[in-house]
Amino acid sequence: MAKGTKKTDLSVLTLLGKPTKPSKKLEVFPNHHPRREYVVVLQTDEFTCICPKTGQPDFAKIKIEYIPDKKILESKSLKLYLWSFRNHGVFHEHVTNIILDDLVAVLQPRWCKVSAQFAVRGGIGITIDAEYKK
C-alpha cells in the first residue's frame, strides 16, 4: 500500500499557507520511504545577497540536491529561508556553506549538495559546490 501524506505530516508545518516574510526557520516533514534512496532537487534563480564590502547586490542560481533519510524539506520554508539572505552581507563561498550547514542540521540527510552559480560581476563568474556525505 502506498504511503501518502498524512494529517500528522501537516501538523508540524507552521509556515505553509500563512502570510510570508523572510525567516531562518527551515521546516521538515516525515519521509515515508526511508528505505529507498532517491534524490530531491530544489532550485531557484532568484537568490540574492549583498557583498559584505561594497554593499552591492549579488544574484545567484541555487540548486539543492539531497538524499533524504527520515526527513524531507518543506519548500515554502526554503523559499523564506533563502529570502532571509537578501540584505545579508556575505561572501559567495560562505553563504553556500552556511546554506549547506543549515540544511544538514535540520534534515540529517544521507547526502546533500548545494551549488551556487553567481552572476558575472567584474568579468568573473563564481560557482561554488559544497557537499555533505553521511
List the chain pLDDT tens, one digit each, 134 residues.
457 888 888 888 887 877 789 999 999 999 999 999 999 999 999 999 999 999 999 999 999 999 999 999 999 999 999 999 999 999 999 999 999 999 999 999 999 999 999 999 889 999 999 999 98
In a domain, 25, yes or no: no
> CA quadruple 61, 62, 67, 69: dihedral positive or negative?
negative
* Residue 113 forms part of a structural domain: yes
What spatial distance separates the first Cα and last Cα of the chain, rounded to whole Å?
Answer: 30
DSSP for 50-107, please give it: E-TTT--EEEEEEEEEEE-SSEEE-HHHHHHHHHTTTT-B--HHHHHHHHHHHHHHHH
The verdict on residue 90 lying in a domain is yes
**Cα 59 from Cα 118, distance rounded (Å):** 6
Q: What is the pLDDT of residue 8?
A: 86
Per the annotation, the verdict on 51 as an active-site residue is: yes
pLDDT of residue 48: 97
Q: Which of 9, 51, 69, 101 is catalytic?
A: 51
Whether residue 14 is contained in a domain is answered as: no
Owning domain of residue 88: 38-133
Say which of 9, 45, 49, 58 is annotated catalytic: 58
Q: Is residue 16 part of a domain?
A: no
Give the model's pLDDT for residue 80. Answer: 97
Which residues on neighbouring strands pair with residue 62, listed in sequence order?
44, 116
Grid coordinates given for 42: 530544489
- Whether residue 58 is contained in a domain is answered as yes
What is the count of structural domains for the chain?
1
CATH number at residue 85: 3.30.1130.10
- 123, part of any domain: yes
Residue 58 annotated as catalytic? yes
Q: Is 74 inside a domain boundary?
A: yes
